[in-house]
Every structure is written in C-alpha cells, then in structure tokens.
Chain A
C-alpha cells in the first residue's frame, strides 16, 4: 500500500485524502450549516431551474462544491451539457 503511494503519488483512498475530504465537508457544515441533505436538494433545485433554459443539462452529472479561498469561499457548480450526437442543423 505505502509502496504504491510512494511510487504513484497519493492514492485517492489514502487516509490523509480521506481526512481532507471529511474535513472539507465538516468545515463547510460548521461555517454555512449546509448539510449533505441540503447540498443534494440544492443540486436538484439548480438542475430544475437550469433545465428550463438548457434542456441538454444532465441533471445527474451536476457537481456542486464549496471551496476555500483567501478572501472568500467559493460555491462552484459544474454543469455538464449533453452534446448532440450529430451537429443539429446540417440538413
């Protein structure tokens, strides 16, 4: 285990990585009182609103993250759009 960590950088399931991810959740919860349930609801609501304008939105794939910055924290949403298999207007 540690052999491979040394070789290939930090594994995703190393205990330090786990600690970091757990802390990220806890700190955001502490500061913004945003529980994982509320975060899931936020994603669902966001998808609903965005789909009114962009039907191509893949609601399942939306990723909402809170991260820390020097001056302020950042709420970031990655919203993947399904690409049409064929460019739509070539007829």
Chain B
C-alpha cells in the first residue's frame, strides 16, 4: 500500500485511476462513464472526473449536462468547494461527476493542483476515475499526476496501438505503471477473417497486462444518445464487457469476458470445418 492511500488517521482511502490513450477518439470517455457507473452499481462510492479541460464531454455521455454549476477549474481556483462542484448521478446516489471547464484551456490547471484535488477526492470516494484528454502533452500529464493506476484504452488499429505504446513508455517513466489495457471496438468477425488485429496480437505488441476487451456495439451509440451508460443494459455485449471490467478492477477473480462471434451460419459451418481440418 503506498503512502498516498493512507490518511493521517490511518484510514485506507480510495484508488485514483486515470483512463488515457494517446490517440483521440478510442473510447476513454465511454470507458470512464461505464466503469464509473458499473462500480457504483456494485455499491462503491465513485467520483468520475473530466480532466479534458476545454473539451468537456463526460457530462453529456452521462446525461448530466444540465446540472453543472461549478467545474474543476472553479474548485482548483477556489471559487467553489469540491462538494459544490460535484454533481450527483440521476440514478446512483454514490456516483458523482466533477465536470471539466468548457471555457478555459488546458493551462488552467497544473500537476500539483491535480494531485491536491485527487487527494481530496480519495478521502470521500472508493474510486476516483479520471478521464484524460488525448495526446501526451500537459493535459495528459495533469490527468496522470495524482493517479495510483493507469488504464490505457486502445482500438485494434495500427495508429492507436502505436500511440498506446508511447503512453506505456511515458507511464513507466513517470513511475505510474504498470499500466493495464482495455482493447475497445473489437469486431470479432473481422478478427476471425484475419482482417483485424486480435487481442493476442495487441498484447504481444504492447506487452502489458489485459484488463478487458469491449466489442464494437451499437448499444454504445444508443446509450450515448440517451445520456445513459451502456451498463444499464446488461443484455448488451458492451454493457456486459464493462461490467466484467469493473469486476476485475474491483479485484474479483474473474476472467476477461469472451466476445461471442456473432457470425452467420455459413461462416460458423466453415470455421467448424476448418477446426476439424487443423
């Protein structure tokens, strides 16, 4: 147990986990919202923090955009207390959002302020999930400054994996590692046709531990339209995937969920045939 997680009175405080990626648009915000919700559904006290200053997004993904009064920069600059800025989720009372400032740029906060902020948050919550901006600049550095653990999100694509590898190196250098990996937007049919990098390929390339995998799933689009996390639909593949990841994050000894290959009858017959042949 490292020192940051013991309070003065010796009470164990919450874990600060940053979700980052290098490349933009691979699913950091989606992941933060769904893991935060799934952990809160398990009864944990969870704060999700939007550290993408200037490009506020986590609020709309979670459907909380109408409730924002103060933001992260207001707290850091002392215009609001943390409690005033935290927004309670509509359904889960133990889930709170700290929104990013929309009208400020990334220089509005520094690493030390982020460390102080996470220290305050970890005293109140079991999990503090930080949604990092893309890139490897100041915004990323601020987002990992106060983290105990880092989750790297990637997709099975050349550029996303390359950027993820840059992040692996930077996390190691910042002594925040070892980072764990979520591979998002997997298309099982493409993988089985040899036209998409497989989970094994990506793991071999990045050589970090696998936290979980999430399939490409239109449920994500629909859930995002509604401002609800996909984990509210436990029949959806993406919802189940994020619940599985939350279990593993919480320390449950469960294997990574297998994504069923939703392929056609012909494909299935062919692969059955192929399996017998090899």
Q: Which residues of A contact B161 (CB under 8 A)?
A: 23
Q: Which of B49-57, B93-101, B188-196, B233-241 contacts A (4 or more CB under 8 A)?
A: B188-196
B residues 189-236 touching A (CB-CB < 8 Å): 191-198, 201, 204-207
User: Given the known A-B contacts A16-B195, A27-B205, are A3 and B270 also in contact in the complex, defined by CB atoms under 8 Å?
Assistant: yes
Interface code A8-49, partner B: CB below 8 Å = 1, 0 otherwise?
111100111101101110110011000000000000000000
A residues 28-83 touching B (CB-CB < 8 Å): 30-31, 68-70, 73
User: Given the known A-B contacts A6-B271, A8-B277, A9-B278, are A68 and B196 also in contact in the complex, defined by CB atoms under 8 Å?
Assistant: no
Q: Which of B67-75, B122-130, B135-143, B162-170 contacts A (4 or more CB under 8 A)?
A: B162-170
Asked if B158 is at the interface (CB within 8 A of a chain A CB), the reply is yes
The listed residue (A10, A31, A68) touching B204 by CB distance below 8 A is A68
Asked if A84 is at the interface (CB within 8 A of a chain B CB), the reply is no
The answer to whether B194 and A31 touch across the interface, beta carbons within 8 angstroms, is no
The answer to whether A16 and B201 touch across the interface, beta carbons within 8 angstroms, is yes
Q: How many pairs of A and B residues are in contact by the CB < 8 Å rule? A: 69
Q: Which residues of B contact A23 (CB under 8 A)?
A: 158, 161-162, 197, 205
Looking across the interface, which residue of chain B has its beta carbon closest to that of A67?
A: B204
**B150 vs chain A, min Cβ distance (A):** 17
A14 to B195, CA, bound (A): 6
The listed residue (A2, A11, A68, A70) touching B205 by CB distance below 8 A is A68
Number of interface residues, chain B, beta carbon within 8 A? 27
User: Given the known A-B contacts A27-B162, A27-B205, are A19 and B197 also in contact in the complex, defined by CB atoms under 8 Å?
Assistant: yes
Looking across the interface, which residue of chain A has its beta carbon closest to that of B163?
A: A30
Interface code B136-158, partner A: CB below 8 Å = 1, 0 otherwise?
00000000000000000000011
The answer to whether A16 and B271 touch across the interface, beta carbons within 8 angstroms, is no
B residues 177-197 touching A (CB-CB < 8 Å): 191-197
The answer to whether B194 and A11 touch across the interface, beta carbons within 8 angstroms, is yes
The answer to whether B207 and A20 touch across the interface, beta carbons within 8 angstroms, is no
Q: Which residues of B contact A5 (CB under 8 A)?
A: 193-194
Asked if B3 is at the interface (CB within 8 A of a chain A CB), the reply is no
Q: Which residues of A contact B277 (CB under 8 A)?
A: 7-8
Looking across the interface, which residue of chain B has its beta carbon closest to that of A20?
A: B201
Which residues of chain B have a CB within 8 Å of any CB of chain A? Answer: 157-158, 161-162, 165-166, 169, 191-198, 201, 204-207, 267, 270-271, 273-274, 277-278
The 6 closest A-B CB pairs, nearest first, are A14-B194, A68-B207, A7-B274, A10-B194, A5-B194, A2-B193
